[in-house]
Structure 1
Amino acid sequence: MTGRRQEEGPDGSPVFDRLGVRPGEAGLTVVQFSTAFCGPCRATKARLDQLRATRPALATVHVDAESHLREVRELGVEVTPTLFFLDPAGRVLHRSSGAPGLGELAALVDAHGGTPA
């Protein structure tokens, strides 16, 4: 997909704290920044929900980018959906922009600690 970007991200813990994200409660927390009228965002959320059903170590948090512009700017979110993969300490393990397919998303989740049951 054009515009998709994957990179290691900065430690955004204070930003995620303000959003109410509690990564210590799961082996892997995926934070998705979305907008209301974003079709790829809805598809990505559905894929994450599907993965969460078979991966008890996975938690997901969905953030409305339009309602959290300060955090969007601080984290450099330019495209929705943007996903942040956080370890239990709140460190950003991976960042992905764009809508990954189910297989790609499953591989990312599994590679970062959200392994299936």
Structure 2
Amino acid sequence: MSGTGVLVLVAALVLTAAAAWWVRARDGRVRAAEEETVGGPTAVLEGLGVRPGDADLTVVQFSTAFCGPCRTTRARLQHLESTRPGLAYVHVDAESHLDAVRELGVRRTPTLFYLDRRGRLLGRSSGAPRPDELTAVVDAHTGAPS
């Protein structure tokens, strides 16, 4: 193999590693609402039956039937909901609500939206959220577990 070939191979490996690191670092991370470009998600979510006024924090999860991380996230959120009285969890089947998926800019599952009691969007995450980060967000808005 020539020196140019080795150089091209090394460059491709470095770029692939950098891209993989970037994707992994962003996967499941909760982003604050001010970083979002999606306009008016609260009305769309309320059209799906979400009632943020019923809890201190409402977490809306968009998922699909074939998504493994969606099942794990759903189980984790259901457990948190049972131990934190100020948390409401709403599951939305993305395949059955394609108009809402388009309006909200849901590109992958699971995608979670975090709403306060007034219906303000606090943030969102795409991909499986990290368990410690998800628990921290829930505890920050609902208080310590009972």
* Higher fraction of helix: 2
- Is the CA contact (8 Å cut-off) linking 2:56 and 2:117 kept in structure 1? yes
Whether 1:89 and 2:118 are equivalent positions in the alignment is yes
Deviations 1:14-53 (A, max 9, x none): 1011100001000100000000010000000000011111
Unaligned runs of 5+ in 2: 1-22, 34-38
Question: Which is bigger in relative contact order (C-alpha 8 A, separation at least 6)?
Answer: 1
TM value normalised by structure 1: 0.91
TM-score (norm 2): 0.74
Query: Does 1:30 pair with 2:94?
Result: no
The answer to whether the Cα contact below 8 Å between 2:59 and 2:115 also exists between their aligned partners in 1 is yes
Counterpart of 2:50? 21
Aligned-residue RMSD, C-alpha:
1.5
Asked if the contact 2:30–2:129 (Cα under 8 Å) also holds between the matched residues in 1, the reply is no
How far does residue 110 in structure 1 lie from its aligned partner after superposition? 1.6
Structure 1 residue 7: Cα displacement: 2.2
8-17 or 73-82: bigger deviation:
8-17
- Are 1:29 and 1:87, in contact at CA under 8 Å, matched by a contact in 2? yes
Runs of 4+ in 1 over 2 A off after TM superposition: 5-11, 114-117
How far residue 72 of structure 1 moved from its aligned partner, in angstroms, is 0.6
What SS does structure 2 have at the residue aligned with 1:53? helix
Q: Kindly report which structure 2 residues correspond to 1:1-117, keeping only aligned pairs within 5 A, or say none.
A: 2=24, 4=27, 5-9=29-33, 10-111=39-140, 113-115=141-143, 116-117=145-146
Per residue, is there more strand in 1 or in 2?
1
Equivalent AA in structure 1 for residue 127 of structure 2: G
Report the AA paired with residue 96 of structure 1.
S
Among all aligned residue pairs of Structure 1 and Structure 2, give the percentage whose two residues are the same amino acid: 62
8 Å CA contact retained: 1:11, 1:90: no
Task: Give, as a single letter, the amino acid of the residue that structure 1 aligns with 2:125.
Answer: S
Q: State the distance in 2 between where 1:101 and 1:7 align.
A: 13
The secondary structure found in structure 1 opposite 2:30 is strand
Q: Report SS of the residue matched to 1:17.
A: helix
The unaligned stretches of length 5 or more in structure 1 are none
Q: CA deviation at 1:11?
A: 4.0
Q: Give the superposition deviation at 1:101.
A: 3.1
Which amino acid in the other structure matches residue 36 of structure 1?
Answer: A
